[in-house]
A and B are shown apart, each in its own frame.
Chain A
Amino acid sequence: MIHPTSQAKRLLATLLVFAAIVLAGCGFSTEDSGGGSNEPDTEGITLYSGRIPAAIGPAVDMYEAAADRDVQVRFAETADLAATLVEEGDASPADVFFAQEPGAIAAVAEAGLLTKLPQDILDLVPARYRDPEGRWVGVTGRARVIAYNRDVVKESELPPSPFGLTDPQWKDRVGWSPASSSMQEYVTALRAKYGDDRTKQWLEEMVDNGAVSFPDNVTIRDAIAKGEIDVGLINHYYVAQAISEEGPDYPVAVYFPPGGLGSLMLLTSVGVLESSDRKPEAFTFVRSLLSPKSQAFFTSSSKEYPLAKGVEPDPALSVPIAEIPVSDSSLVDLKELQGTIELMKEAGAL
């Protein structure tokens, strides 16, 4: 038998050897937003971003270069970051919150954690794309659309509004994502326009018609591409992303239904934390996101609608922004959102 003490030591040695190698060899490495090698030396604001590096990196880099400040970015799911901000309260290290979904920033605003933005920032975007109380401002817009597999479905066959997807010809062919916040936002807008009864009826008819539930927009898009389903309710830019990745032969196309609340504009938005002690810097960063240069990056790279006044959408966006309805900002309200979730549960959609 080997001497027990040496065995105990060997055990601990094995457990710690990897940590030791790593610590001695390279330490732990961190990397910034854009991954650029020429990050400014002066530490700047801290950004909590619900948007992934590819979606915002170059816009952050532009600001860093102009302001000569190094932005610290924490990337995570928007909802997770919103929940984190609420728990952190006044102790939050974050100065700016960039949300991918509208409900999340409303939750943070409602918790009293966002400061009122200066009027000059609010004036950069039309009133319908910002919080009526001025606590957050929209940066880009994504439209709710019907995506379809153009090998199977002709655009002319598609109904004028999602209400038409309850027709028997679409039985078992439609994908949606009741658990995603973008779908819930759409349902909230339907309730505001058509009332709870009509909305619930539509939800029930969708469920009866065999609408297939997916966890998010991406999985719907991929299921359409694979021919698992033929059409789906998703945000337009996920398809644009895939086309730029896969090439023009990508089988999924988007259709902006012209009727009723066919499409709906959902905002990505940004707010500055009340607890921030770098507010002026944070405001400069927000102005930078709304500058023509950053806005041009957003619309050309991910085919989102730019929301700053006077910036033209990417030529690929054939439907003018003015034709896409936006939900009344006062509707981005948590009580409404909870009402929507109740309604969706009652209808068996969630």
Chain B
Amino acid sequence: MTAARRAPFWLLGAGLLIAAAAVLPATYLVVVIAGDLSAALETAFSSRAFETLLRTAALTAAVVAASIAIAVPIGWLTVRTDLPGRRLWAVLCTLPLVIPSYVGAYLLVAALGPNGMLQEALGVDRLPSIYGFTGAWLVLTLFTFPLLLIPLRATLRRIDPQLEDAARAMGRSPLEVFRTVVLPQLRPVIAAGSLLVALFVISDFGAVSILRFHSFTSEIYVAYQSSFDRVAAAALGAVLVVAMLGLLLVSSRVRGSKTVHRLGPGTLRPTQPYRLGRWRWPAIGFCSLIVLVAFVLPVGVLIYWASKGISTGSTSWNTIAALGGNSLLIAAWAAAIGAIAALVVASLAVRYPSSAARLVERLSHAGYALPGILVALGLVFFATRAVPALYQTITLLVFAMTIHYLPLAIGPIASSLVQLSPRIEEAARGMGRGPAEVFRTITIPLARGGVMAGAALVFLHAMKELTVTLILSPIGFKTLATDIWTQTTFGFYEASAIPALVLLAVAAVPVYLLSEQGAAAP
């Protein structure tokens, strides 16, 4: 059978529906821009917008590079070696993702900023400034590299060890094997994960505002928060969507079209872990350093604040439990629906490449490149006009979260499908099973690692989402993230320590379970 197969009608139909949903916020931007096209064009093509875009692009490139430098070694060490405590390292290295970027930035300033904790501990007068590019780069790297790590680990588990064994048998050193055999197989997932990191960086507002880096989202916030200029905000949002399409193009080039799935039939042989020997000490050192800065340090500051017992009195344990329940509810539904939708999109893109499938995949990314406020306003616009009965309900909130974070699940799932030989599916078809049955009984189970990773990413992001929740939730509905926001509005970051710690604890459970599930994948 040739590669260019036609997608089953139901799959393509579902994909188009998902893409149409994901593109709603971007459609809203078009509607607003059409209202005053000349003003929009003037804003979008101003030299100021261009300069800000370049500055943001530089930050994005730097964060992506640093994330690869951290995630690839940690992913390899925790999956393919006998590193002591590798499961624990993996979970600890995933958790920084749960810390909202504005909290992370504030913690970094408290710890490393002028007259911060480190300066006090060292007893020096001045430390190098962490504001501007450096601070934004540091915080965004530390709190987003898990976006790359999670799908990377899922892929590493599914790499066929036979090739590596063969290479080793031919006398290549472990490093050479890694470079010539493992790394090429990781290319698709590095491309997909880097895309997620990049899209996060361009849409983040929390970290850059506290660390005083004027990024493209700062420009959007100035447009609508200061001058209430919705046309300018929409025009700048549209620029972000275009930038996103550019990043997708780069990512798909890097991903390449080389065959990376196993050719042989049957199941994966259990991999023999590499013995690190005395290299285990530098390996532990590296993991410790990352966990220390990205997890222990921020959590330590949070625990210190919580222990100071400063509280504005609004955080009783009953309240915290209710908030945690609400956060879980939203995040679990968004993760479940997001994973299923992403599976459809990824299957189309990987199994039935056509212009329609490519269009579906690209459009499905539209909601992630935009800051939360534009996603929220887009849905306010459409929901109040088309489905007023659903406006400000849990259903709409979950829908918004799902389209906002859908790309987080598409990347990892696509990567795992690329590794899965279509011949297995074809064989099942040959035995008379229908396409839907093959999808259910073959594709989903074998792509499980990627599906799990994708669901975990959506889950973690939905847990900490703020702006969309504030605007689209049922009235009076509060989550851990909105409680943190309530406390920090007046700058009482100390009082936000307890809900922030609960957020971490609640998120740690699924992260652990998902990494266990993934580890048990065939």
Contact = CB atoms under 8 A, between A and B. Distances in A.
Chain B CB within 10 Å, residue with most, of A28, A214, A221: A28
Nearest to A245: B492
Contact of A103 (B228, B441, B474): B228
A204 to B, nearest CB: 17
A73 interface: yes
Contacts of A87: 377, 380-381, 384
B507 to A, nearest CB: 11
Interface stretch (A1-9, A59-67, A114-122, A305-313): A1-9
Given A30-B478, A80-B467, A227-B115, A219 B491 contact: yes
Given A84-B380, A215-B210, A228-B115, A32 B513 contact: no
Interface residues on A, range: 35 or more
Nearest to B451: A11
A218 B377 contact: no
A311 B325 CA distance: 43
B309 interface: no
B224 A29 contact: no
A73 B476 contact: yes
Contacts of B455: 15
Nearest to A91: B384
A30 B476 contact: yes
B113 A228 contact: yes
Contacts of A30: 474-478
Contacts, number: 198
A70 to B, nearest CB: 10
Contact of B510 (A18, A23, A222, A245): A18
Interface string B461-483: 00000010011001111100010
B465 to A, nearest CB: 13
B339 A107 contact: no
A181 B322 contact: no
B388 interface: yes
Given A11-B452, A31-B478, A25 B333 contact: no
A322 interface: no
Contacts of A186: none
B478 A19 contact: no
Interface stretch (A161-169, A262-270, A337-345): A337-345
B227 A5 contact: no
Nearest to A76: B470
B115 A226 contact: yes
A26 interface: yes
Interface stretch (B54-62, B298-306, B442-450): B442-450
A316 interface: no
A91 B388 contact: yes
A36 B394 CA distance: 24
Contacts of A331: none
B475 A14 contact: no
B272 interface: no
B226 A12 contact: no
B486 interface: yes
B329 interface: yes
A73 B229 contact: no
Contacts of A259: none
A152 to B, nearest CB: 12
Contact of B491 (A7, A26, A83, A222): A222
A317 interface: no
Contacts of B442: 4
Contacts of B168: none
B48 A28 contact: no
A223 B481 CA distance: 24
Interface stretch (A46-54, A129-137, A193-201, A290-298): A46-54
B373 A83 contact: yes
B314 A338 contact: no
Nearest to A302: B490
B248 to A, nearest CB: 26
Given A84-B380, A226-B114, A31 B476 contact: yes
Given A80-B373, A80-B467, A241 B228 contact: no
B114 A228 contact: yes
Given A14-B513, A18-B332, A80-B467, A29 B491 contact: no
A155 interface: no
B420 to A, nearest CB: 12
B377 A84 contact: yes
A145 interface: no
A88 B384 contact: yes
Contact of A345 (B48, B329, B380, B477): B48
Interface in B353-391: 373, 376-377, 380-381, 384-385, 388, 391
Given A86-B230, A337-B226, A12 B336 contact: yes
Contact of A104 (B210, B228, B380, B391): B228
Nearest to B495: A245
A160 interface: no
A79 B388 contact: no
B226 A103 contact: yes
A326 B446 CA distance: 68
Given A107-B228, A179-B222, A226-B115, A8 B212 contact: no
A209 interface: no
Contacts of A77: 225, 470
A53 B314 contact: yes
B436 interface: no
Contacts of A213: 212
B326 interface: yes
Contact of A214 (B212, B224, B490, B513): B212
B265 to A, nearest CB: 12
Contacts of B339: 15
19 contacts: A1-B267, A8-B441, A11-B444, A14-B452, A15-B455, A18-B328, A22-B326, A26-B325, A28-B329, A74-B471, A103-B227, A184-B226, A218-B490, A218-B491, A228-B113, A228-B114, A245-B492, A337-B226, A338-B227
Given A15-B455, A83-B377, A334-B228, 18 more contacts: A5-B441, A11-B452, A12-B336, A14-B517, A15-B332, A15-B335, A19-B328, A19-B336, A23-B329, A28-B325, A31-B322, A54-B490, A76-B471, A84-B377, A223-B114, A238-B490, A338-B227, A341-B227
The 6 closest A-B pairs by CB, nearest first: A218-B491, A30-B476, A107-B228, A19-B332, A18-B332, A76-B470
